[in-house]
Structure 1
């Protein structure tokens, strides 16, 4: 079986895994500094963040971009 999205660094990665890895790396305060959204500022949790991010495409995009910039530096999608 061939990978249908070979250039997509997020292919096969769940949003929950993205949020958990970013929180482990930056902490909630660090995420709130980098992405100004309330789900990272006020009583943050993975569950509440996922609920918000699944309904808010612009915020999800910012989180995905931060994940790529943080963990996928060798990927061709990332900007130099």
Structure 2
């Protein structure tokens, strides 16, 4: 493993995985409160949100930041 991948906590996680986990954790309504963007509050779906987030770097950064701030349970190995 390279040094840069060890330092990047999002290494190996796709935007779809991040978004899906956040939706499972918070639900669309609470996610829209954390990150107030239309694709989370107006007829939300994973597909439409991914399309928007891939075109909008500032919104993607907010999703990534929320993912990193969220306390996740330890995964069982």
Q: How many residues align?
A: 71
Unaligned runs of 5+ in 2: 73-77
| 1:5 shift after superposition | 1.6
Which residue pairs with 2:46 in the alignment?
Answer: 46
> Which structure has more helix as a fraction of its residues?
2
TM value normalised by structure 1: 0.84
1:10-42 Cα shifts (integer Å, max 9, x gaps) = 000000000000000000001000001000000
Higher relative contact order (CA 8 A, sep 6+): 1
What RMSD, in angstroms, separates the aligned Cα atoms of the two structures?
Answer: 1.2
Unaligned runs of 5+ in 1: 73-80
Moved over 3 A (4+): none
